[in-house]
Amino acid sequence: MMKSVLVAVVAALMFVGTAHADENLFGYVRGSETLPQGSWDLYQVLTSRTDKGTGTYSALDSKTEIEYGMTNSLSLSAALFMQSVYSSGIQIDAYLPQDINQSMTPSGLEASAKYNFLSPAKDNIGFSTYLSLNHSWLDKHSGQDKDTTSMELEFIVQKYFLEGELIWVGNFGTESTYAKRYNIANLPPGFEWPTEPEMELGLNVGTGLTWRFVPKWFIGAEFLWESEYETEVGQERWSLFGGPTLHYASESWWVTLTYLPQIQGGGEMYAGQTDDNLHLIEKTKQEARLKVGFNF
């Protein structure tokens, strides 16, 4: 999976033509800039998630997004999600019911908006809000049928230092989710697979710092803390990821690569889990993300 991501990076650098204002300096945390009025951006995002500590697990998420600058302060987006999941030799009650080898298939849709109140280029600090609504029909962990509707609200700050050579970004967000699984035939005796509707609340805090070490190239690091709460159990899980990020930008396109291993996590663990300082039910030991953006 990592090899596929790296090959895609090389291909992007070799074959993509000649982006612009709202380039994504990080793989996971968002910047506060919006598109200029009347302009369009196309993004392709690939996320590799691997290793749950036992058996074999790898997933590849795809997000194809188009963004439009409605005004200089408001950007609107629509996205299509796809996914592939391979899981073998691992079963987790309520999450991974059986082995699966799912090829890349459509899995969800999203609509979002970002509004910029303060620009980091014009004001002392940048500030924006981000709101998204998405619906998916496949579970990203198991690949099984599951209807999920989520709304995310995020607050974004961004600061330029050293005339833009050093850039800091901070995010704080909440996510509300309604989900319903469907029955699966021939599950092992006693295996838990609840089909009652679920309500969840997620919190996330992210930050990143990047430095332009030569023209067009940025190198930095980003960190992402996530936590999820359910009505019946309270805090169900939490995790902290962090790692390096590399960004290249030309006039009309850009590419970002981030490697994000899990540093620490907690909450529910599956039976027999040996890594007791990580959360490996809904998360994996590492993620890697490739993002390519085009301006047109």
Q: Which CATH number fits domain 2-295: 2.40.160.40, 2.60.40.10, 3.55.50.30, 3.40.50.150?
A: 2.40.160.40
Cα angle for residues 34, 39, 42 (degrees, 5° grid): 80
For position 21, what pLDDT does the model report? 61
> Which of the residues in the chain have pLDDT under 50?
2-20
User: pLDDT tens digits for 206-257?
Assistant: 999 999 999 999 999 999 999 999 877 788 999 999 999 999 999 889 999 9
Those residues with Cβ within 8 angstroms of residue 285's Cβ, 6 or more apart along the chain or in another chain: 50, 51, 52, 53, 261, 262, 275, 278
For position 2, what pLDDT does the model report? 46
Distances (CA, A) of 213 to 37, 164, 165, 247, 289: 30, 11, 8, 11, 21
Ordered by start, the domain boundaries in the chain are 2-295
Can you give the length of the chain in residues? 296
Enter the pTM of the model. Answer: 0.90
